[in-house]
Structure 1
Amino acid sequence: MEHILIVDGYNVIGAWPELKRLADTNLEDARDRLIEMLADYQGFSGARVILVFDAHQVPGLGGAYSQYRLDIQYTKEKETADERIERLVTQLINRRRQIHVATSDQTEQHVIFGKGALRKPARELLIELEENRKLVAARVDEQRQMSKKKNLLIGGVSTEMLQKLEQWRRGKPKS
């Protein structure tokens, strides 16, 4: 089953303390940080992530691009992020897909739930992201420890002995 996470970008920025602080001084930095965090999430979870930013007060056609393999979409003029998200859910929903929408907007949560997607409050996504980050750090640390143990074992064995062991492993006669 394919897992898709659609994220209401500015809603999440406003809900996460780190991003909210960044947005208070530089909104672009907050967007970039959110993109990085969601790229990590996508890499760990395997879910396809679609990030939607509201540009309904900005003239233009909107746009879509890919960064870190994330699908990032800006709404077109006079289109809200909620409208784009609802349209995406309608287009993507089927039996082989599980769609979550990350937003803390209660009204939007009810609408997308009615269309068949699952709700994921911004706070819940942040907690999941932090747990994933801890798991990745633990795995990296575990790999480092294993690597050190292997190196300690091999580091104390002479090259001549390693060659003899390799010959013995391969079943070759000793020379």
Structure 2
Amino acid sequence: MDILLVDGYNIIGAWPELQELKMKDLSAARDLLVEKMAEYQGFTGYKVIVVFDAYGVHGLEKKYKNYQIDVIFTKENETADERIEKLAIALSNRKTQVHVATSDFTEQWAIFGQGALRKSARELLIEMESIENAIGKKVKHIIDDRPASKIELSDEMVEIFEKWRRGE
């Protein structure tokens, strides 16, 4: 199994789209990163864990799942780097290859020592753009190959049927 540990704020600070969004709404930038990592997980089959710093923030550690992605806010006075190192040690075994997405040079050397592989923020961005293009092509292909409906349906009816199909 492959696991990707993502240094959340490091990636947000390195990807132009997320950087720009962060200036307006940090929470929205975090949410968009998690959404993109869900696409990454779905496309690659990697298990993705996104870690955000809570260093210097009073309060308890927080973990939750969003889009099947594990999201961790570190506990007080613990950096994302420290948590990622601990996770890399805990998750690494013969059957599991841990990858860490960060452009923090010190962190990269630390995770190498744990047997993890690194992806820079730039490498992850390029890979993510490639994945989004592949998904777009696949969706277009499905739409183009879809047989035409024999009964004309209004957009409203199509939406109702789609909700039924999804079980909503």
Same fold (TM over 0.5): yes
Q: Which moved more, 1:40-49 or 1:10-19?
A: 40-49
Shift of 1:145: 2.1
Shift of 1:40: 1.0
SS of equivalent to 1:119:
strand
In structure 1, the partner of 2:38 is 39
Counting only pairs closer than 5 Å after superposition, residues 48-67 of structure 1 correspond to structure 2 as 48-67=47-66
Mapped pair 1:71 → 2:78 = no
CA distance in 2, matches of 1:140, 1:21: 28
SS of equivalent to 2:146:
helix
Normalized against structure 2, the TM-score is what? 0.86
CA distance in 2, matches of 1:136, 1:23: 25
**How many residues in Structure 1 have an aligned counterpart in Structure 2?**
150
Unaligned runs of 5+ in 1: 156-175
In structure 1, the partner of 2:82 is 83
Mapped pair 1:3 → 2:2 = yes
CA distance in 1, matches of 2:131, 2:118: 19
CA distance in 1, matches of 2:91, 2:82: 14
Asked which structure has the greater CA Rg, the reply is 1
CA distance in 1, matches of 2:11, 2:132: 18
CA distance in 2, matches of 1:144, 1:67: 28
Q: Percent identity over the alignment? A: 54
Unaligned runs of 5+ in 2: 151-168
Mapped pair 1:95 → 2:113 = no
Letter in 1 for 2:91: L
Shift of 1:38: 0.7
In structure 1, the partner of 2:104 is 105
In structure 1, the partner of 2:125 is 126
In structure 2, the partner of 1:136 is 135
Normalized against structure 1, the TM-score is what? 0.83
SS of equivalent to 1:50:
strand
In structure 2, the partner of 1:160 is none
Shift of 1:62: 1.2
Runs of at least 4 residues of structure 1 off by over 6 A?
none
SS of equivalent to 1:145:
helix
CA distance in 2, matches of 1:145, 1:80: 47
CA distance in 2, matches of 1:33, 1:143: 25
Q: Which moved more, 1:139-148 or 1:124-133?
A: 139-148
Shift of 1:118: 0.1
